[in-house]
């Protein structure tokens, strides 16, 4: 087992990783930017090293400084958390070359899944259902138009280097094709330095359902069932829940098996997530694979009793998994609390938390790095807490979530709490029958 892990991240996920390390008897090293010198992750760690100024590119993305910090503190592994360097193939490779274990995917696995058109081909070959469309990249507008005519409009063109909706265009008819093609090429070239595009049939009003998997170094993979992430605004997830209200035992079994087949095809090691779209007929299709721990991992932990960070660390240290998949016996939901004003287009609201109190009690878990007196720096993402609620049924979860959100008292900044409170009373949300388009017609004006 590792003796000391450097956590190349900040905020709640850095604390989350340190907590498991402490339980496992592993020493921790925090790295921090000058903007984070008063952060809890710095105080929680056994050692802390400053790695640069506030801008991420000069600190949390600064590979030489992070490696120097690992070297001077004698860390034998690096946990990247999510975001920042977590899916950076170059960083994974450099760690390997340095003899420091990267607790995450190998460079090869990251590259295979990072290029979305390649990832789709790999999954298709492994027998995972994929959305009908181009084989690999489109080489011309003419090829795209021809294919769209064959499979029928609407179609969607996506950036192969994309994700999170950037470089993506929905095309409703052939007359729009050229303009959408030019826009998507321009946007993806500028954003990713790669303007490769692929095409798919557009699935209208889908659900976003993802399967958590864990693979070990011996090629064994198990799944830990699904998370429903259909409550999103502009590709930002706001609420996640498990089990999904629309996933039957049979669908869970088939999606779980598909996710395992896909992960085994690339000999996937560690924790990963296979994202699917589920259409109105209940058919599912591979969308992307995330080769990292995700923000919403706690709801899976709550219903399966697994510590996913501990699983990541064990697998990275070469300890095999049992190979059994887990099916939820409980219900769990996460509300992301962001320092944003939901009445004003979710505009960031950084500043100082003058006073606050977290909710607690039975079935309530708070993953957060903030405290009364803490100043939220403007340089990073705006999530300040995750309220994770667990109970025996979806109805009980919603009642408990309302209670917890009511108890969450915070002053000095605007947060997304009023939005979540309204959502919990929304009839469509409560029915469980909503799609990824649900928030497009939500009224945020009266929060
Ligand atoms: C789609 C789709 C419909 N049909 N692909 C959004 C982000 C990127 N990961 C892929 N996305 C989508 N791909 C086909 N063929 C609809 C979306 C989509 C979406 C997916 C999941 C959650 C929210 C979404 C919001 C808008 C569009």
- The closest alpha carbon to 429, from 447, 411, 443, belongs to 443
**Which tokens sit at 282?**
């209940």
Sole residue written with tokens 């976003």: 208
By most ligand atoms within 8 Å of CB, the mutation choice from 436, 437, 441, 442 for ligand 1 is: 436
**Which tokens sit at 107?**
């460079």
Distance CA 287, CA 71 (A): 38
- Decide: 273 in ligand 1 pocket, CB within 6 A: no
Distance CA 85, CA 91 (A): 7
Distance CA 354, CA 360 (A): 20
- The closest alpha carbon to 156, from 174, 178, 135, 171, belongs to 171
Among 169, 252, 292, 400, the active-site one is 292
Q: What is the 3-state secondary structure (H, E, C) of 115-172?
A: CHHHHHHHHHHCCCCECCECCCCCCCHHHHHHHHHHHCCCEEEEECCCECCECCEEEC
Q: How many CB atoms lie within 10 A of CB 416?
A: 27
- The confidence score (pLDDT) of residue 438 equals 98
Query: Coil, strand, or helix at residue 30?
Result: strand
Q: How many CB atoms lie within 10 A of CB 23?
A: 11
- The confidence score (pLDDT) of residue 251 equals 98
* 304 CA distance to ligand 1 middle (Å): 28
Burial class (CB in 10 A: 0-12, 13-18, 19+), 379: middle
* 25 CA distance to ligand 1 middle (Å): 42
- The confidence score (pLDDT) of residue 322 equals 83
Q: How confident is the prediction along the chain (447 residues), in pLDDT tens digits per residue? A: 999 999 999 999 999 999 999 999 999 999 999 999 999 999 999 999 999 999 999 999 999 999 999 999 999 999 999 999 999 999 999 999 999 999 999 999 999 999 999 999 999 999 999 999 999 999 999 999 999 999 999 999 999 999 778 899 999 999 999 999 999 999 999 999 999 999 999 999 999 999 999 999 999 999 999 999 999 999 999 999 999 999 999 999 999 999 999 999 999 999 999 999 999 999 999 999 999 999 999 999 999 999 999 999 999 999 999 878 888 889 999 999 999 999 999 999 999 999 999 999 999 999 999 999 999 999 999 999 999 999 999 999 999 999 999 999 999 999 999 999 999 999 999 999 999 999 999 999 999
Q: How many CB atoms lie within 10 A of CB 50?
A: 16
* 49 CA distance to ligand 1 middle (Å): 39
**Which tokens sit at 100?**
């420091």
Which H or E run includes 81?
none
Distance CA 315, CA 214 (A): 9
- 159 contacts 168 by C-beta, under 8 angstroms: yes
- 109 contacts 266 by C-beta, under 8 angstroms: yes
Looking at residue 296, what DSSP letter applies?
Answer: T
- Decide: 217 in ligand 1 pocket, CB within 6 A: no
* 274 CA distance to ligand 1 middle (Å): 14
**Cα dihedral 408, 412, 417, 421 sign:** positive
Distance CA 355, CA 372 (A): 5
Rg (the chain; Cα; Å): 22
- Peptide bond before residue 154 is cis, with ω within 30 degrees of 0: yes
Which H or E run includes 223?
strand 221-233
Looking at residue 85, what DSSP letter applies?
Answer: T
Distance CA 63, CA 67 (A): 6
Annotated catalytic residue 43: no
Sole residue written with tokens 């790295």: 31
- Decide: 202 in ligand 1 pocket, CB within 6 A: yes
Distance CA 336, CA 422 (A): 14
- The closest alpha carbon to 234, from 347, 133, 132, belongs to 347
Distance CA 177, CA 146 (A): 11
Task: Specify the pTM.
Answer: 0.97
* 339 CA distance to ligand 1 middle (Å): 26
By most ligand atoms within 8 Å of CB, the mutation choice from 123, 129, 168 for ligand 1 is: 168
Nearest residue (CA) to ligand 1, atom 6? 165
Query: Coil, strand, or helix at residue 179?
Result: helix
């Amino acid at each position: 087992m590792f003796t000391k892990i450097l956590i190349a991240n900040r905020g709640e996920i850095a604390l989350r990783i340190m907590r498991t390390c402490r339980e496992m008897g592993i020493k921790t090293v925090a790295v921090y930017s000058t903007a984070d010198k008063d952060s809890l992750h710095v105080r929680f760690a056994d050692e802390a090293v400053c790695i640069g100024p506030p801008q991420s590119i000069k600190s949390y993305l600064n590979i030489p400084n992070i490696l120097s910090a690992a070297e001077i503190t004698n860390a034998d592994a690096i946990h990247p958390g999510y975001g920042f360097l977590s899916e950076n193939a170059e960083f994974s490779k450099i760690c390997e070359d340095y003899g420091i274990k990267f607790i995450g995917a190998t460079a090869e696995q990251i590259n295979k899944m990072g290029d979305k058109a390649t990832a789709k081909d790999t999954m298709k070959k492994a027998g995972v259902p994929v959305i009908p469309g181009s084989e690999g990249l489109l080489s011309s507008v003419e090829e795209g138009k021809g294919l769209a005519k064959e499979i029928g409009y609407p179609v969607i063109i996506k950036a192969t280097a994309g994700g999170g909706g950037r470089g993506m265009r929905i095309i409703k008819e052939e007359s729009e094709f050229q303009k959408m093609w030019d826009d998507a090429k321009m946007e993806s070239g500028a954003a990713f330095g790669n303007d490769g595009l692929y095409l798919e049939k557009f699935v209208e009003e889908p659900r976003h359902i993802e399967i958590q998997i864990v693979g070990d170094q011996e090629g064994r993979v198990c799944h830990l069932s699904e998370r429903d992430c259909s409550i999103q605004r502009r590709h930002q997830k706001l609420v996640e829940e498990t089990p999904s209200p629309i996933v039957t035992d049979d669908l869970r079994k088939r999606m779980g098996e598909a996710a395992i087949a896909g992960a085994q095809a690339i000999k996937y090691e560690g924790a990963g997530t296979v994202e699917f779209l589920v259409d109105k007929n209940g058919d599912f299709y591979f969308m992307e694979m995330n080769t990292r721990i995700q923000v919403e991992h706690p709801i899976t932990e709550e219903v399966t009793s697994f510590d996913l960070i501990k699983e990541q660390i064990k697998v990275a240290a070469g300890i095999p998994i049992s190979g059994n998949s887990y099916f939820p016996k409980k219900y769990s939901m996460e509300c992301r609390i962001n320092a944003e004003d939901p009445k004003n287009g979710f505009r960031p609201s950084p500043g100082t938390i003058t006073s606050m109190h977290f909710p607690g009690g039975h079935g309530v878990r708070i993953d957060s790095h903030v405290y009364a007196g803490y100043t939220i720096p403007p340089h990073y993402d705006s999530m300040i807490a995750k309220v994770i609620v667990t109970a025996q049924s979806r109805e009980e979860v919603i009642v408990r979530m309302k209670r917890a959100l009511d108890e969450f008292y915070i002053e000095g900044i605007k947060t997304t709490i009023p939005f979540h409170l309204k959502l919990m009373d929304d009839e469509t949300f409560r029915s469980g029958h909503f799609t990824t388009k649900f928030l497009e017609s939500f009224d945020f004006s009266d929060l």
